[in-house]
Amino acid sequence: MSLVSIINVSVIVPGRTLFRNVSFQVDPGDRIGLVGRNGSGKTTMLRLLCGQISPEEGHISVAKGTRIGYLPQDIQEAFHGNLLPFLLESVPGKRRLRDKIEALSKKLQYATDERDKASIAAELAEAHEELNSLDSHFPAHMAEKILKGLGFKEEEFYREVSTLSGGWKMRAVLGSLLYQQPDLLLLDEPTNHLDLPSVRWLEQFLQDFKGALLLISHDRDFLNNQIRRTIAFHREGVRLYSGNYDFYLKAREEERRILEAKARNQEQRVKEAQRFIERFKAKASKARQAQSKIKLLKKMELVQTHKKEKTLKFSFPPVEPSGRLVVSIEGISKAFGE
């Protein structure tokens, strides 16, 4: 059974259509990369999947009980609490259980009827059992391992999250998502704020991850190593490819080659038909054939080749060493936080 089904979804923004009539499914264990130029709709698709926005047309169906985790490129939300507890308390349902236990404990304290006490005590015991089950499924040592993998030092585990820089907050949020083990993980440029050791650690963690993954990343090697399918967002539409990013590039190039060959052949046939029409349209014996070719040209659908995406290319010309001292630094210091 699919985790998420996207059915004929269209998104229209002021002035243009991002994509139209897009359909695909996300199955358990799927690993899908979203590729395309900036502004083509990749992030919008992730926001649709996690329910942040709704499509103008079409329908998105999420299987009952599916847990979805989403890492955006930018975080607007304010976070409070210490780092390690921030991860531990991020597990869905955990805060609700703690609040329930606290409320039941107070209720039991003030209960006077013995039958009420017994009923409250039974409910309290059940809530404790649920919480213990969550704690065993989401152990603290796993949260610590994730934090270390993302570059946090052990002495930072009880640092206030709100005091972290933007990049380190992103690491904290990413860590909480990894710790939650969602059924579907949506990651939008997760390596943006990571150093190389953390990227390598995340790469291995995601390869061991059992849930489904939808990934946007400009890190080609990282993307290639994580995905088995590719959804490409292009001007002519959205296409699904059964392979990683390298597979997609080869398939795309082969499509371009075939379409351009078809376009050249079609252009040649059109020119031949036009020459025939010009030559014989006034000749009675050939008039019927000329009219037939005119009708054929009117009905002919032109082969649409792939539109080339605009890319920015630049280079710095080589220069000779000046022989002058460019920078001199003495006694410099740098610190983060306190």
Residue 114, helix vs strand vs coil:
helix
- Nearest Cα to 182, choosing from 285, 92, 112, 106? 92
Give pLDDT, residue 337: 58
Alpha-carbon span 149 to 79, nearest angstrom: 21
E strand segments, 14-86: 16-26, 31-36, 57-62, 68-71
Q: Which residues of 267-302 are buried (b: 16+ CB within 10 A; e: fewer)?
A: eeeeeebeebbeebeeeeeeeeebeebeeeeeeeee
Give pLDDT, residue 335: 75
Give pLDDT, residue 310: 63
Strands 68-71 and 237-241: unpaired
Give pLDDT, residue 113: 81
Give pLDDT, residue 105: 82
- Per-residue pLDDT of the chain in tens (338 residues, 90 and over written 9): 899 999 999 998 888 889 999 999 999 999 999 999 998 899 999 999 999 999 999 999 999 999 999 999 988 777 888 999 999 988 887 788 888 888 888 877 878 788 877 888 888 888 888 878 777 788 899 999 999 999 999 999 999 999 998 899 999 999 999 999 999 999 999 999 999 999 999 999 999 999 999 999 999 999 999 999 999 998 888 999 999 999 999 998 888 888 777 777 777 777 777 777 776 666 666 667 766 766 776 777 765 666 666 666 778 788 777 778 888 899 898 876 55
Is 66 exposed, middle or buried (CB count within 10 Å of its CB: 0-12, 13-18, 19+)?
middle
Give pLDDT, residue 93: 79
Alpha-carbon span 163 to 89, nearest angstrom: 18
- Nearest Cα to 55, choosing from 26, 4, 19, 25? 19
- Nearest Cα to 173, choosing from 157, 150, 155? 150
